[in-house]
Amino acid sequence: MESNKRGWTTQWAGIAVLALFALLPLVKTSDYQLTVANNVLLWAVFAMSFNMLFGVTGMLSFGQALYFGFGAYSVGLFAYYQGTWWFLPALFLGMAGSGILALLIGPLVLRLTGVYFTMLTLAFAQLGWGIVVKWYDFTNGDDGIQGIMPPAALSNKVVYYYFCLVLVSVSVWFLWRISRSPFGLMLRCIRQNPSRVRFLGRRVKRNQLRIYVISAVFTALAGGLMAGVDNSVHTGMWYWTTSGEVILMSILGGMGQFFGPFVGAAIMILIEDMVGARTEFWSMVIGIVMLTMVILLPKGVVGELVQLKERLFKRSSALGV
């Protein structure tokens, strides 16, 4: 009846990609490769929940590291002080805590718009980073926390990988449903024309706060699961470069596309991994890739592909093919 076709394509592409990730451990992958794949999955969730703010609602938060670090350290600190048994409860406590934190900080940062909003989110995240670095007695400061083990049932690398894959799939599914729902439409409308949204009788800031909280919860999930991948947490997870990384991933993959940030995360992690193994100047390669993308393919990898497909399709239909 209506333009559901594109929706279906995206949905099947997503299912296919996640199925591919599910097959990875079966085709004889080393522990290291599995860790890289897990990194891609978790960063993808982080980047996608960030993009719900940025690409969908038009809120450029430069402080998502706050919730990533919060999720990671919830797991890290509980496992460190209370033992491995606390790994899973801490994961969910971290998500809940992150949501509450976002509910408290959200109304403050949402008072401002545009670049002022961005700066304020950065300020709050740096505040969190400062606390974690300085509070040595509790957080181990710059030393971080090592030896964080998932509970016995998940201690096998492959099992933990599948555990992450399931939670990642559920998260992606949930965010996908949001973006196809009336709420998702409302968020896109807020990005394009917030003053008209008020003339629909809807509150712009309240809806922005809703997605800010949802984004924080899934960001904390990614952070918490990451603690189990690296078996450690470190203060860098709270640092502004971590916030910056998901911005780059979203732009690289295409902020206007649901799976753009997923693809962006995969590309960034693979570049880091493959180029990083050969030279310490891998960040230069990322710089060059970003530069090329922004100048030549501003819609990002997925965005440009979709446009290419639309153009080809339109031309062939115009020719009556």
Partner 1 sequence: MEPVLVVDGIEKSFGGLKVTDKVSFSMFPGDLTAIIGPNGAGKTTLFNILTGHLAPDAGSIRFEGKEIAGARTQDIVTMGMGRAFQITSIFPEETVLDNVRVACLSKLREATVFIRPISAHKRATDRAYQILESLGLEKFSDRRAFELSHGDQKLLDIGIALALEPKLLLLDEPTSGMSPEERLLTRELIKKLWSLFNLTLLFIEHDMDMVFGIALKVLVLQQGALLVEGTPEEIRSNPEVITAYLGEEL
Among 182, 279, 317, 321, binds partner 1 (CB under 8 A): 182
Q: Taking a C-beta distance cutoff of 8 angstroms, is the pair 300, 264 a contact? A: yes
Are the C-beta atoms of residues 250 and 303 closer than 8 Å to each other?
no
275 scored as a contact of partner 1 (CB under 8 A)? no
Nearest to partner 1 of 36, 56 (CB atom): 56
What residues contact residue 262 under an 8 Å CB cut-off, 6+ apart?
A: 17, 44, 47, 48, 172, 253
Q: Does 317 bind partner 1 (CB under 8 A)?
A: no
Binding partner 1 by CB under 8 A: which of 9, 146, 156, 193?
193
Residue whose C-alpha is closest to residue 39's, from 169, 224, 229: 229
d(Cα 299, Cα 256) in Å, to the nearest integer? Answer: 7
Residue with smaller CB distance to partner 1, 61 or 179 = 179
SS3 309: helix
Query: Measured from the CB of residue 191, what is the shortest distance to partner 1 in angstroms?
Result: 9
Complex with partner 1: residue 27 or 200, whichever CB lies closer: 200
Using CB under 8 A as the binding rule, whether residue 184 contacts partner 1 is answered as yes
Cα gap 304→206, rounded to integer Å: 33
**Which long-range contacts link 22-28 to residues 24+ away (Cβ below 8 Å)?**
22/162, 22/165, 24/161, 25/158, 25/161, 25/162
Query: What residues numbered 197-216 form the site for partner 1, per CB under 8 A?
Result: 198-203, 207, 210
Contact residue for partner 1 among 112, 185, 284, 294 (CB under 8 A): 185
3-state class of 143 per DSSP? helix
State the minimum distance, in angstroms, from the CB of residue 48 to partner 1.
Answer: 15
- The least distance separating partner 1 from the CB of residue 69, rounded to whole angstroms, comes to 27
Long-range contacts, 27-36 (Cβ 8 Å, 24+): 31/157, 34/157, 34/158, 34/161, 35/157, 35/229, 36/269, 36/270, 36/273
Distance of alpha carbon 233 from alpha carbon 80, whole angstroms: 11
Within 110-139, the residues that bind partner 1 by CB under 8 A are: none
Selected binder of partner 1 within 124, 162, 183, 240 (CB under 8 A): 183
Choice from 103, 189, 285, 290 touching partner 1 (CB under 8 A): 189
Spell out the residues 6+ positions from residue 250 whose beta carbon is closer than 8 angstroms to its own: 47, 50, 51, 54, 55, 260, 261, 264, 300
Report in angstroms how near the CB of residue 225 gets to partner 1 at its nearest: 23
The nearer residue to partner 1, 134 or 196, going by C-beta atoms, is 196
How many residues make contact with partner 1 (CB under 8 A)? Answer: 28
Question: With respect to partner 1, which residue has the nearer C-beta, 177 or 309?
Answer: 177
Binder among 111, 134, 196, 311 for partner 1 (CB under 8 A): 196
Q: Which is nearer to partner 1, 134 or 198 (CB)?
A: 198
What does the binding site for partner 1 look like in residue numbers (CB under 8 A)? 1-4, 174, 177-178, 180-186, 188-189, 192-193, 195-196, 198-203, 207, 210
